[in-house]
Amino acid sequence: MSLAGKKIKVNGIYLNVIIEGEGDPVILLHGFPDSAAVWRNQIKVLTGSGCRVIAPDLRGFGDSDAPQGRGQYTLNIIAKDVTELLDHLDIKKAIFVGHDWGAALGWYLAIRHPERIERYVAISVGHPRAYRSGIEQKLRGWYAFAFQFPVISEKMVRAFDWYVLRRMTGNHPENDTWIKDLSRKGRLTAGLNWYRANGLGVIFGNFPNVHVPVLGIWSTGDRFLSEDQMKNSARYVNADWHYEKLEGSSHWIPLDAPDRLNALLLDYFGRQTGKKN
């Protein structure tokens, strides 16, 4: 199965989008510093179960455009990228799965555009109101503050052969791929602009409760996100809520625990539709 994407123009930019399979549409949203390739272990399984998988490189990442300026990376603008992509593909409603910033984006879409979401799987990152409460999560999220300073942050991350990134990620095997991608002109700044454009909004913004079914997944080896910010998301979901904890995986669940994640996704999709995949 080829994972080559196609360029689709939405919201004034070109997104590189992997589209595979036939059947019920499933939208996969990656985070920082990834691309749609982070879902490579999920795409084959989901398409084999009768899903049509749409996995975009979100703006600033992968082979999608990376417009200049932090104002180009607000969740409002990125959400418009996604809704225009749905319109382009003539998809009225889909299952959404998000990880890291992709999970934050998924929550935003579930709040602002619930009519487009059949159900939602949030991996690692909980509802914004749960995320911003609690001391433990504030301590774990120190890096989001460190990323706020243009030029200085870029120099910090790149210094000593990307030492900060390697240390933060626990020398994850995917580091060589991330570093290659982020070394392209303007790409590190584009990724950090997600933090710069949305930091204050996440802390002070208005995020009502979600009215679509949600499965929250968190891993015990996640050094960036606390369990409470995911578990407490139940308070902000006025629909069916499920929570699953994965033992032993790092933050990058799609890469580190693909079999367990795939089983959860297929089970959850079957439970919600009344049919088993």
How buried is 248 (Cβ within 10 angstroms: 0-12 exposed, 13-18 middle, 19+ buried)? exposed
> Is 236 annotated as catalytic?
no
The catalytic residue among 30, 242, 251, 268 is: 251
> Is 251 annotated as catalytic?
yes
The catalytic residue among 100, 181, 222, 256 is: 100
> Is 242 annotated as catalytic?
no
DSSP one-letter string for the chain: -----EEEEETTEEEEEEEE-SSEEEEEE--TT--GGGGHHHHHHHHHTTEEEEEE--TTSTTS---SSGGGG-HHHHHHHHHHHHHHTT-S-EEEEEETHHHHHHHHHHHH-GGGEEEEEEES---HHHHTSSHHHHHHTHHHHHTTSTTHHHHHHHHHHHHHHHHHTTS-TTHHHHHHHHTSTTHHHHHHHHHHHHHHHHHH---PPB-S-EEEEEEEE-SSS-HHHHHGGGGGBSS-EEEEEEEEEES-HHHHSHHHHHHHHHHHHHHHHTS--
The catalytic residue among 108, 120, 131, 195 is: 195
Check if the beta carbon of residue 196 is closer than 8 Å to that of residue 147.
yes
Among all residues, which ones are annotated catalytic? 100, 195, 251
